[in-house]
Amino acid sequence: MNDPRPIPSPEDLALYAMQALSADEMAAVAAALRDNAQAQQEFARIQSDLALLALSTEQQPAPAGAFDRLKARMHENAAATTVAAKPVPTAMPPMTDTAYEIAPAASRRSKWTVFTPWAIAAALAIACSILGYRVSSMNDALDGESRLVSNLAAKASHAQQVLEVLNAPDAQRVTLTATQTAPAPTAHTVYLAERGALVMEASHLKPVPADKAYELWVIPASGGAPIPAGTFRPNSEGYASLVLPSLPSGVQAKAFGITIENAAGSSTPTLPIVLSGAAGD
């Protein structure tokens, strides 16, 4: 009794699918696969895994003209098939040994007599294939030209309609402009550095969440860290003000900025800066 073929391991199946085994091992796995449905299923799963792997490659389009070259080969293939498929052997009359025995003296002449028609037939078959190919190519070209003509006709018709509309004397011509846009938020500060006194009023501010507030910052001209000048929240009409907040005196300002911070305020500004302006602007 023969031993059953060993079931190939999944590891070997994977290597087999990748052709990464030696020739002997490849043959052994192929033979074992033939008899084992379970291994065949796993092999199919591995092939699917490998298809995914193949798809992981950087995608490149096929080279330009690749399909035309393929098409030419498809036609060559068809022509070769047509010639090969000509039933030359079966169409030949049966020639027995007896026939040669009856006319040995005329064998040379009879060979020409036999082969000449077949040579002509073969030439005709090749000519037909070439003609068929040319007809097919011309049909393809004609189809392409027809599509091109249709496209051009459609584009011309569309252009004509556009011209008619633009030139129509009774057409209504109306210029549309942007509707009123929301006013931009603005803020004005008046700052007296030697006293550390500041008054700010802002308008058109957007509402902020309940746990947030706007905060004004004085940016010192000396390059020091921004100084918080107080938090504020706009009213329902977007208006807010700060009057004489607590600020150190004697700090020249380079600029002012407003950010959105937590409602309690912050010691450093959080980007983005919602409004800003340089001193002297």
Partner 1 sequence: MLTRIGQRDENAMEEIFRRYSGPVYSVALRVLRDSSQAEDVLQEVFLQLWRKPAAFVQNRGSLGAWLVVIARNRAIDVLRRRKPSDSVDDVVLASTVNVADEAERNTMMEKVRRVIADLPMEQRKSLELAYFEGLSHTEIASRTGDPLGTVKTRIRQALISLRKAFQP
Query: C-beta of 66: minimal distance to partner 1 in Å?
Result: 6
Other Cβ atoms within 10 Å of 240 Cβ, number: 21
What does the DSSP 8-state code read for residue 191?
A: E
**Binder among 35, 67, 103, 233 for partner 1 (CB under 8 A):** 67
Binding string to partner 1 for residues 141 to 160, with x set by CB under 8 A, is what? Answer: --------------------
Cβ-based neighbours of 274, under 8 Å, separated by 6 or more:
185, 214, 258, 259, 260
Nearer to partner 1 by Cβ, of 18 and 99: the residue is 18
Is 78 or 125 the residue whose CB approaches partner 1 more closely?
Answer: 78
Beta carbon nearer to partner 1, 83 or 251? 83
Q: Residue 164 has which token pair?
A: 């008619």
Write down the least CB distance from residue 87 to partner 1, Å.
20
Question: What are the residues whose beta carbons fall under 8 Å from the beta carbon of 172, sequence distance 6 or more?
Answer: none
In this chain, which of 2, 4, 19, 168 binds partner 1, going by CB under 8 A? 19
Give the residue, chosen from 21, 32, 200, 240, that forms a contact with partner 1 under the rule CB under 8 A. Answer: 21
CB of 148 to partner 1, least distance (A): 17
Rounded Cα gap, residues 190 and 273, in angstroms: 19
Residue number, 40 or 270, with CB nearest to partner 1: 40
* Contacting partner 1 within 27-66 (CB under 8 A): 30, 40-41, 43-63, 66
Q: Angle at Cα 258 formed by Cα 253 and Cα 263, nearest 5°?
A: 125
Query: Contact 206/244 with Cβ under 8 angstroms?
Result: no
Give the burial class of 71: count Cβ atoms within 10 A of its Cβ; 0-12 exposed, 13-18 middle, 19 or more buried.
middle
Segment (H or E) for 262: strand 253-262
- In the complex, minimum distance from the CB of residue 14 to partner 1, in angstroms, rounded to a whole number: 5
Distance CA 35, CA 4 (A): 9
Q: Please give the Cα distance from 137 to 37 (Å, whole number).
A: 48
* Nearest distance, CB of residue 16 and partner 1, angstroms: 7
> In whole angstroms, how large is the CA radius of gyration of the chain?
45
Q: Which is closer to partner 1, CB of 22 or CB of 222?
A: 22
d(CA 26, CA 229): 81
Answer for which of 5, 7, 36, 71 binds partner 1 (CB under 8 A) is 71
Q: Closest approach of Cβ 83 to partner 1, in Å?
A: 15
Residue choice 6, 35, 70, 116 for contact with partner 1 (CB under 8 A): 70
Binding site for partner 1 (CB under 8 A): 10-12, 14-22, 26, 30, 40-41, 43-63, 66-67, 69-71, 73-74, 77-78, 140
